[in-house]
Structure 1
Amino acid sequence: MSSTSQLAKRFREVILDGLWIANTNFKDQLKEVNWEQATAKIGSLNTIAMLTFHIDYYIAGLINVFEGGDLEIRDQYSFDFPPIESQEQWEGLLHKLWEDAEKFANLLEQMPASKMNEVFFDEKYGTYLRNIDGMIEHAYYHLGQITLIKKLLSGY
């Protein structure tokens, strides 16, 4: 298996279908969350919806670079999204995350392994490998938060 295929597999594990590292993934954790739970505020914590948007924001931003575009995402905007006020809007956000995640993984699988050591958009961001590894680690970090928020919402 090529290095890019292995990275794509690791990425799919955290977002779509894996159990190896955390014994769960985004899709598993979010499958039974309704929009009221997704938008429920607990103290100063981000909501599940905010964290879901945040992860998709970065995935979509990296996809844009993978497809030859500019790096247009900015940390300061990574939580800026319109409020979710219905189950339909929540399901729309989830659908976008699943589609973007699969697209990200597919684009990654198509990259030559040699691309991993190339500069990612600008030298200050490091290599493609650094950014892809960072995306996977970032996703696990927020997966943990979502898991804990779900437990708090259920009264644990």
Structure 2
Amino acid sequence: MSTTSQLAKRFREVLLDGKWIANTNFKDQLSDVTWEQATAKIDSLNTIAMLTFHIDYYVAGLINVFEGGDLEIRDQYSFDLPPIENDEQWETLKNKLWKDAEKFASLLEQIPDAKMNEVFVDEKYDTYLRNIEGMIEHCYYHLGQITLIKKMILLKHK
């Protein structure tokens, strides 16, 4: 299996369908979260909806680069979630993440392995490989947060 196919598999695992590393994934964790739970604020923590938006923001930004565009995303905007005020808006956000995650993985599978060691956009961003591995790690980091925040919300409402 090629390096890019392996990376795409790992990416799908954390977002869409895996259980190997964390025994869960984004889709599994968010499947039963209501929009009220997704927007519930626990102390100074980010909301589940904000973390969902945050991950999709970066996924979509890298898709743009994979498709030949510029790296237009900026950290300062990565939590600029528009208000979620109903179930339809929450479902739209989740569905965008699922669609973007699959597109990211599919585009990644098409990248030749040789490109993995090339500079990603600018030397300051290192290589394609480091950025893709970083994206996977970033997703697991926030998956852990979502899992804990979800548990806190459920305990609070028992």
TM range (shorter): over 0.9
**Counterpart Cα distance in 2 of 1:63 and 1:6:** 18
Kindly indicate whether residue 150 of structure 2 is the aligned counterpart of residue 146 of structure 1: no
Secondary structure of residue in 1 paired with 2:19: coil
Give the corresponding residue for 1:55: 55
Letter in 1 for 2:63: I
Give the corresponding residue for 1:112: 112
RMSD, matched Cα? 0.7
**Counterpart Cα distance in 1 of 2:131 and 2:16:** 19
**Counterpart Cα distance in 1 of 2:154 and 2:12:** 27
Count of residue pairs brought into register by the alignment: 156
Kindly indicate whether residue 44 of structure 2 is the aligned counterpart of residue 44 of structure 1: yes
Letter in 2 for 1:116: M
Give the corresponding residue for 1:5: 5
Kindly indicate whether residue 96 of structure 2 is the aligned counterpart of residue 96 of structure 1: yes
Q: How does 1:63-82 map to 2 (within 5 A)?
A: 63-82=63-82
Give the corresponding residue for 1:27: 27
Give the corresponding residue for 1:127: 127
Moved over 6 A (4+): none
With normalisation by structure 2, the TM-score equals: 0.98
Q: CA deviation at 1:95?
A: 0.5
**Counterpart Cα distance in 2 of 1:154 and 1:95:** 23
For residues 98-141 of structure 1, give each alpha carbon's deviation from its aligned partner in whole angstroms, at most 9, with x where no partner exists: 00000000000011000100110011000000000000000000
Give the corresponding residue for 1:83: 83
Letter in 2 for 1:92: T
Name stretches of at least 5 consecutive residues in structure 2 with no aligned partner. Answer: none
**Counterpart Cα distance in 1 of 2:16 and 2:30:** 10
For residues 73-99 of structure 1, give each alpha carbon's deviation from its aligned partner in whole angstroms, at most 9, with x where no partner exists: 000000012110010000000000000
Name stretches of at least 5 consecutive residues in structure 1 with no aligned partner. Answer: none
For residues 46-79 of structure 1, give each alpha carbon's deviation from its aligned partner in whole angstroms, at most 9, with x where no partner exists: 0000000000000000000000100000000000
% same residue: 82
With normalisation by structure 1, the TM-score equals: 0.99
